[in-house]
Amino acid sequence: MARGTITPARAVFDGADGPSPAQEPGAVHQARADALPRARHVFVGGNGLPGRWQGRERFVVLETGFGLGSNFLVTWDAWRQDPVRCGRLVFVSVEKHPPRPEDLARAHAAGPLAALAGQLLERWPPLTPGLHTLSFDGGRVTLLLGLGDARPMLRELVLQADAFYLDGCVPAADGAPWDAYLLKSLARHAAPGATVSTWSAARSVRDELASAGFEVLQVPGLAGMPEMTTARFAPRHRPQRPAGREPLAPRALRAVILGAGLAGAACALALSREGLACTVVDALPGPAQASSGNPAGLFHGTVNPDDGPHARFNRAAALATQRLLAELGLPHQHGLLRLETRLALERMQGTAGYVETLSAAQASALAGTPLGHPAWFYPGGGAVDPAAYTRAMLDASAAELRLATPVAALREEAGAWALLDAAGGVVDRAALVVLAGGHGQLPLLGGLEGSVDSLVVQRGQLSHLPDATWCPGVPVAGDGYVIADGRGGVWCGATTQDGDLDPALRVADHTDNLTRYARLAGLSQVPQAPLAGRVGWRLIAPDRLPLIGGLAAPGPRAEQLRLQPRRPGLVICTAFASRGIGWAALAGRLVAALAVGSPRPLEAELLDAVDPLRFALRRQRRPGA
Ligand SMILES: Cc1cc2nc3c(=O)[nH]c(=O)nc-3n(C[C@H](O)[C@H](O)[C@H](O)COP(=O)(O)OP(=O)(O)OC[C@H]3O[C@@H](n4cnc5c(N)ncnc54)[C@H](O)[C@@H]3O)c2cc1C
C-alpha cells in the first residue's frame, strides 16, 4: 500500500499566515502555544494516563495525526517521569503529512521538551511511505511512525492499542473530522478496555464511536474548548482476532535462539529489548563463523517504480539497519553507489535522504573512477564487517552464548520446545525457540511442514585484491561489487553457484570476481592476485524474500495466512539470501513483535510477503502450479 511520495506539511508558527483555503486539510500543522498542556489534558489525561499504564509490561498508544509531535513528546515525558511506569511504551502514529525536521526543531526549541525533541530529530527518518521504527531510552520507548494516508495505513497496522489519541483530521464527506470507516477501524485495533480521547465533541464522532463498540463520555475540555470526548471499548461481543496474528509466545520470559549469525544475533537483541532473557546456541566455536563471517558486505535499499513488496521491505530493512548501526556505534562505511544500467538519468526518481540519483559524472567523482553509468546513491547504505555487526548485536543483547553446541533435533513439549543433541539429550528448552540457523539448520526443519520447501543453498566466493589500482571512495555495486578494505586493497565479489557445497576457494571464481572488478574499474587487464578470499552459502527462497514468522499448527489449513493457526512458541527467521546484513535488524524486530505481540514493525501485506507459510498457501490455492 505504501506507493507514492510523502509530502511534508507546512508548519505555521505564532498564528502567522494561516492556512490557505486551497491547502489540503492536514497539510498544515499549526504550532500552538498551548500544544503541550493541551496534549496533557486531552490525550494523556483523557486516556487515564499515567495510571492506566502503571504495573503493565507494555502499553500501546495509537494516534491519528502526528502533527508537530507534541502528543508523543508529552506522553514520552510522562512515561519518563513516572516511577511506576510500564516496562515498554509503544507509540504508534499515523501521519499523511509529516513535519519537516526544521519545523519540528523550531516548534520545540524553546519549550520544556526541547531535549526529547532533540532526540526525536536525531532519529527523524527520510520521508518515505510506510512504517518507520524509532527507538528511545534503550529500546524501552518505541515510536512507530506510519507515513501515509490514515485509512489504508490503519488497515495495514497489526497491533492492539490500549489508548487511542484521535488527533489531526481526516475529514469525511459530511465534514466530520473523521469518517465512519476510520472510527470503526479503531475497534479492530482495540485491546480489551482500550480508551479513546479526542478534542472533538462532534456528535458524529460520538455516534460512530458508540456504534463501533465504545462507551462514550462527554468531558470538560481545556480553555477555549468547553467539551471533548473520551470513550472506553466495551463491545457487546469481543471481536475474534485472526489466529495467524496471535502472539506466538506472549508469556515467555526466556528465549533460546538457534544460530549465532546475523539472524540469531538480531533476534537476541530485539527479544532482550522486549525483556526476555536470551540464550544463543551455535554448533561453531564462535559467533558469525558461518555465512555471517565474511570480512565485509553491503547493505542498502532498492528502488522499484511500482514500490512493490521487495522495494518496501528492502527500504524498511535498510533504514532499520542504518538506525541500529548508529545506535550500536559500530564503525562502517557510509554511503553506497548502485549503478543503473537500464534507466536513463531523467527516468530515475529518488527520495531525499533515502536514495539520490547521480549522473555518470557525479557517480564517477564519488567512486574515484569513470563508471559510465548513472547511479543510485544510498546515503544511509554502506558496507560493514558482518562479523563485527553480529558481535555488537550479541553484546548489546547480553545474551548467554552456548557455543560448540550442535543441535540435532527439536521436540515439542508441554508449553515449551526442547533442543536435543545427537544422543537425544536436552541441550536447552524454553517457551520460545527461534530458528535462526541459516542453511545449517535445514536438517532440523524437515518435520516442520511448509517451512523449507523450495529453499536453495547457494555457494558464493569473495576475492581479496591486496594492492588495488582502484579503491572506491564509497562501496560500489553493479555487476559485482567492490568494497575498499581500508589498507589499499579491495574485497570484490561475489560468485553464485546453486546447490554447490564445495568449501574450497577456486581460482576460476577469483578470476570471475576480478574480471567484474576490472570492468567496474575500467581496467583493460584483469589484475593478477594471490589466492585469497572466503567461501560462504546463501539460503534463498524462490521469491528472494526472507522467511520470518510462525510455522503451521497441525490441522486443516486456512485459506489466508492471517487466519492460519501457528505452533505456539516457535518462530523461524531465515533465508536471508544475499541481504543478511541489510535485513537482520528489521527481521529481529519482527521476530520479537510476533513473539510477544507488540505492534508489528511492518504492514500486514509485508508480514504476508515474508511469512514462512506463503509457499504452502500458494500451492494449496493452485495445486500443481
Ligand atoms: C559470498 C557471499 C557474499 C555475501 N555478501 C553479502 C552482502 O554484501 N550483503 C549482505 O547483506 N549479505 C551478504 N551475504 C549474505 C549474508 O552473508 C547472509 O545472508 C547472512 O550471513 C545469513 O545469516 P544467518 O544468520 O541467517 O546465517 P549464518 O551466518 O549461516 O548463521 C547460522 C548459524 O547457525 C548455526 N547453526 C545452524 N544449524 C545449527 C544446528 N543444527 N546446531 C547448532 N548451530 C547451528 C551455524 O553454525 C551458524 O553459525 C553474502 C553471502 C555470501 C555467501
d(CA 417, CA 414) in angstroms, rounded, equals: 8
pLDDT in the model for residue 337: 97
pLDDT in the model for residue 221: 84
Mean pLDDT of 288-314: 94
In tens, the pLDDT along 61-105 reads 999 999 999 999 999 999 999 999 999 999 999 999 999 999 999
pLDDT in the model for residue 24: 62
**Ligand 1 atom closest to the CA of 535, numbered from 1:** 1
Question: Which residues, including other chains, have CB under 8 Å from residue 2's CB and lie 6 or more apart?
Answer: 128, 129, 130, 148, 307, 312, 603
Q: How far is the CA of 434 from the centre of ligand 1 (A)?
A: 15
Q: How far is the CA of 126 from the centre of ligand 1 (A)?
A: 29
Closest residue by CA, ligand 1 atom 33: 259
Q: Which of 257, 269, 294, 434 to mutate to test the pocket of ligand 1 (most atoms within 8 A of CB)?
A: 294
d(CA 91, CA 47) in angstroms, rounded, equals: 14
3-state SS class at 25: coil
pLDDT in the model for residue 2: 46
Q: How far is the CA of 217 from the centre of ligand 1 (A)?
A: 55
In tens, the pLDDT along 432-442 reads 999 999 999 99
For 485, the grid coordinates are 578494505
In tens, the pLDDT along 408-432 reads 999 999 999 999 999 999 999 999 9
Q: How far is the CA of 602 from the centre of ligand 1 (A)?
A: 23
Q: Of all helices (H) and strands (E), which one includes residue 194? A: strand 190-198
pLDDT in the model for residue 20: 47
Burial of 449: CB neighbours in 10 Å, binned 0-12, 13-18, 19+: middle
Closest CA to 482 of 470, 495, 491: 491
Mean pLDDT of 150-178: 85
Q: What average pLDDT is seen over the chain?
A: 92
What order of strands is seen across the sheet that includes strand 416-420? 409-413, 416-420, 426-430
Q: How far is the CA of 397 from the centre of ligand 1 (A)?
A: 19
Alpha carbon separation from 398 to 133, 272, 298, 395, 407 (Å, rounded): 22, 8, 26, 5, 22
Mean pLDDT of 262-268: 98
What is the full DSSP assignment across 594-621? HHHTPPPSS-HHHHHHT-TTHHHHHHHH
Q: Are 264 and 434 in contact (CB under 8 A)?
A: yes
Closest residue by CA, ligand 1 atom 4: 578
Q: Which of 298, 576, 591 to mutate to test the pocket of ligand 1 (most atoms within 8 A of CB)?
A: 576
Comparing 179 with 233, the larger pLDDT belongs to: 233
Q: How far is the CA of 388 from the centre of ligand 1 (A)?
A: 13
Mean pLDDT of 273-279: 97
| Cis peptide upstream of residue 107 (ω within 30 degrees of 0) | no
d(CA 478, CA 516) in angstroms, rounded, equals: 9
Q: How far is the CA of 438 from the centre of ligand 1 (A)?
A: 5
Q: Which of 256, 269, 281, 291 to mutate to test the pocket of ligand 1 (most atoms within 8 A of CB)?
A: 291
Q: Would you place residue 13 in the very low, low, confident or very high pLDDT band (cuts 50, 70, 90)? A: confident
Crossing angle (nearest 10°) for helices 386-397 and 580-596: 20
Q: Would you place residue 4 in the very low, low, confident or very high pLDDT band (cuts 50, 70, 90)? A: low
pLDDT in the model for residue 15: 55
pLDDT in the model for residue 357: 96
Q: Of all helices (H) and strands (E), which one includes residue 149? A: none
Percentage of the residues of the chain whose pLDDT score is greater than 90: 78
Mean pLDDT of 133-144: 96
Closest residue by CA, ligand 1 atom 40: 407
Q: How far is the CA of 284 from the centre of ligand 1 (A)?
A: 12
Comparing 180 with 379, the larger pLDDT belongs to: 379
Closest residue by CA, ligand 1 atom 8: 297
Is pLDDT of 30 > 90?
A: no
Q: How far is the CA of 421 from the centre of ligand 1 (A)?
A: 21
**Ligand 1 atom closest to the CA of 583, numbered from 1:** 11
Is pLDDT of 619 > 90?
A: no
Q: Where would I find the H helices in 282-359?
A: 309-328
Q: Would you place residue 21 in the very low, low, confident or very high pLDDT band (cuts 50, 70, 90)? A: very low
Closest residue by CA, ligand 1 atom 1: 460
3-state SS class at 485: coil
pLDDT in the model for residue 384: 98
- The residue whose grid cell reads 465504545 is 214
Which residues pair with residue 16 across a beta bridge? none
Q: How far is the CA of 537 from the centre of ligand 1 (A)?
A: 7
For 96, the grid coordinates are 499523511
Closest residue by CA, ligand 1 atom 2: 460
Percentage of the residues of the chain whose pLDDT score is greater than 70: 94
Mean pLDDT of 497-523: 94
Q: Which residues of 324-359 are buried (b: 16+ CB within 10 A; e: fewer)?
A: bbebbebebbbbbbbbbeeeeeeebeebeebbbbbe
Residue 525 φ/ψ region, left for φ over 0, alpha for ψ in the -120 to 50 degree band, beta for the rest: beta
In tens, the pLDDT along 356-410 reads 999 999 999 999 999 989 999 999 999 999 999 999 999 999 999 999 999 999 9
Report which residue type is found at 309: P
Q: Are 302 and 346 in contact (CB under 8 A)?
A: no
Question: Cα angle vertex 79, ends 76, 80, to 5°?
Answer: 90
Closest residue by CA, ligand 1 atom 14: 578
Burial of 508: CB neighbours in 10 Å, binned 0-12, 13-18, 19+: exposed
In tens, the pLDDT along 341-350 reads 999 999 999 9
**Ligand 1 atom closest to the CA of 437, numbered from 1:** 34
Q: Are 124 and 70 in contact (CB under 8 A)?
A: no
Q: Would you place residue 18 in the very low, low, confident or very high pLDDT band (cuts 50, 70, 90)? A: very low
**Ligand 1 atom closest to the CA of 262, numbered from 1:** 25
In tens, the pLDDT along 464-485 reads 999 899 999 999 999 999 999 9
Q: How far is the CA of 120 from the centre of ligand 1 (A)?
A: 33
Closest CA to 579 of 392, 301, 257: 301
Q: How far is the CA of 334 from the centre of ligand 1 (A)?
A: 23
Q: How far is the CA of 436 from the centre of ligand 1 (A)?
A: 9
Residues with CB under 6 A from ligand 1: 258-264, 281-284, 289-292, 294, 297-299, 386, 406-407, 436-438, 440-441, 444, 460-462, 493-494, 536-538, 574, 576-582
- The residue whose grid cell reads 557525479 is 362
Question: 0.85 cut: is pTM over it?
Answer: yes
**Ligand 1 atom closest to the CA of 405, numbered from 1:** 43
